[in-house]
Amino acid sequence: MQSFTEENYLKVIYHLAEKTETVQTNAIAEQIQTKPASVTDMIKKLADKGLVDYIKYQGVSLTDKGRSAAIDIVRKHRLWEVFLVDKLNFKWDEVHDVAEELEHIKSVDLIERLDEFLGFPKSDPHGDPIPDKHGRFAKTQFIKLIDLKVGDSGTITGVSQHSSAFLKHLEKLGLTLGKQIQITDVTDFDGSVEILSSEKQINISREVAKHILISSNGKI
Amino acid sequence: MQSFTEENYLKVIYHLAEKTETVQTNAIAEQIQTKPASVTDMIKKLADKGLVDYIKYQGVSLTDKGRSAAIDIVRKHRLWEVFLVDKLNFKWDEVHDVAEELEHIKSVDLIERLDEFLGFPKSDPHGDPIPDKHGRFAKTQFIKLIDLKVGDSGTITGVSQHSSAFLKHLEKLGLTLGKQIQITDVTDFDGSVEILSSEKQINISREVAKHILISSNGKI
DNA sequence: AAAAATTTTTAGATTTACCTAAAAATAAAA
DNA sequence: TTTTATTTTTAGGTAAATCTAAAAATTTTT
Ligand SMILES: [Mn+2]
Ligand SMILES: [Mn+2]
Ligand SMILES: [Mn+2]
Ligand SMILES: [Mn+2]
């Protein structure tokens, strides 16, 4: 059984490991909002418990045991987010912080029943996949909107940024999950992207386009 | 903002204060499952924060601020219990431990929406009243079943013991909330009570009868 | 390949919530 | 009203998770 704090470390390492094989001390420190010295201490502890592989100065990676624990926390986080949005009418930009607390509630029974109550959802309000009770989930094939070419079209199926500011902005533009979009132009001047969505022309910055995930249906 | 641990102390002091005006160090220690020395430490801290009134060796009592914080936790605890029973199909004997964790989730918005989602329930699965968002609730007038006389009848509206063993036992006897009962006899030998419930004669021990709360409708 | 910059680790403290053992205060019994 | 028992507090310490400052290792730049 892991402590609240250990669970947060495991989850952060898990997410960082999606980008780089081996995870750096400083990167963890930034995510956890703590100092690198504290991270080193905790890494040693996690290594002693067999949750991470660790070589001094070489970074850290999850063991199978550690990954499985991390996925379990991610599962809880995303199920609670679905609960908050589907049942309690929270907006998709309001759920992250509360889920951050709820994910640490310790009860296998609770999460199984919650899963059932929600109808075994496959993805959370941000389009992220929800692992099943065995930790299995389909690795979804996303393309960043920024990487599409003029003429390409697809459906918004995820976001890679969960900040309230970003999500509220998308909401205002009408760019929510499931929306069909087509790239109509890319501005030479600032690289901003013109898209057609719900029969309206919208201009979004490169920064925004980077964090919108599309399941492409190729050119039309 | 109180810590997880401080909240547990406040809640325990609140419940103990229902029996005695001023609460003893040892009583708190027993409830929290800790040592009296640790309780003294925490009491000092709570006193410094203005949450309890404390005179050395004379016991402790909640200030208005402390009571209001305690009631807020009780509200959360009971709302989560309703959620677990009504929505996730937990039994009334299975919810206490999980609610013990959920009650510490910090989000005013969450609990207001949960309250609404549950239809603003007035009592929890054990018949205990749920304070509203201002901390107000009706002090219900209960009589212990053990205090009824032969011929008296009433409705089971609460229990004063939340252990799984006790609640499972009641369930098996069919003595659940809302059930109508009548006292038919009190055994001379062991003081056990004969009651009529759902057209069946049931014998319950004094110990059980002590913890069943009745809203009496007098003699029939 | 040496110098400079960056990253990571160690050393030594701090805070929170505990603990044990012993002392002090209060309550109960003789 | 002493003596005894119980309750409560103090004193001194531990473990978890954090910190700052300084040392060590690694990486990047010149
Ligand atoms: Mn978390
Ligand atoms: Mn999410
Ligand atoms: Mn609790
Ligand atoms: Mn209850």
Domains in chain A: boundaries: 4-62, 143-219
CA A198 to chain centre: 26
> What are the chain A neighbours of B106 within 8 Å (beta carbons)?
101
3-state secondary structure of B151: coil
Tell me how close the Cα of B158 comes to any Cα of chain A, in angstroms: 25
Ligand with the closest atom to the CA of A103? 1
pLDDT band with cut points at 50, 70 and 90 for residue B220: very low
Beta partners for residue B195, in sequence order: B183, B202
> What are the chain A neighbours of B113 within 8 Å (beta carbons)?
88-90
Interface test with B, best of A79, A110, A116 (most B CBs within 10 A): A110
pLDDT at site B219: 47
Rounded to a whole number of angstroms, the distance between the first and last alpha carbons of chain B is 52
Among A29, A18, A125, A22, CA closest to A71: A18
| CB of A101 less than 8 A from some CB of B | yes
Q: Say yes or no to pLDDT of B43 above 80.
A: yes
* DSSP conformation letters of A178-201: T-EEEEEEE-TTT--EEEEETTEE
Tell me how close the Cα of B116 comes to any Cα of chain A, in angstroms: 8
In the CATH scheme, what architecture does the domain A143-219 have? Roll (2.30)
A104 strand D contact, CB < 7 Å: no
Interface test with B, best of A101, A112, A115 (most B CBs within 10 A): A101
Nearest to A113 among B89, B109, B110 (CB): B89
CATH tag, B4-62: 1.10.10.10
Answering whether pTM is above 0.85, one says: yes
pLDDT at site B140: 80
Q: Which residue of A has its CA nearest to B95?
A: A110
Averaged over A209-216, what is the pLDDT?
Answer: 93
* DSSP conformation letters of chain A: ---HHHHHHHHHHHHHTTT-SSB-HHHHHHHHTS-HHHHHHHHHHHHHTTSEEE-TTS-EEE-HHHHHHHHHHHHHHHHHHHIIIIIT---TTTSHHHHHHHTT---HHHHHHHHHHTT--SB-TTS-B---TTS-------EEGGGPPTTEEEEEEEES---HHHHHHHHHHT--TT-EEEEEEE-TTT--EEEEETTEEEEE-HHHHHTEEEEEEEE-
What is the overall mean pLDDT for chain A? 95
Give distance in angstroms: CA of A166 to centre of ligand 3: 35
Beta partners for residue A143, in sequence order: A214
| CB of B98 less than 8 A from some CB of A | yes
pLDDT at site A140: 81
> What are the chain B neighbours of A84 within 8 Å (beta carbons)?
110
Q: Say yes or no to pLDDT of A220 above 60.
A: no
pLDDT at site A219: 47
A35 strand D contact, CB < 7 Å: yes
E strand or H helix at B23, and its extent? none
- Give residue-wise pLDDT tens across range A114-166: 999 999 999 999 999 999 999 999 988 889 999 999 999 999 999 999 999 99
Q: Say yes or no to pLDDT of A3 above 70.
A: yes
CA B137 to chain centre: 14
> What are the chain B neighbours of A90 within 8 Å (beta carbons)?
109, 113
Ligand with the closest atom to the CA of A127? 2
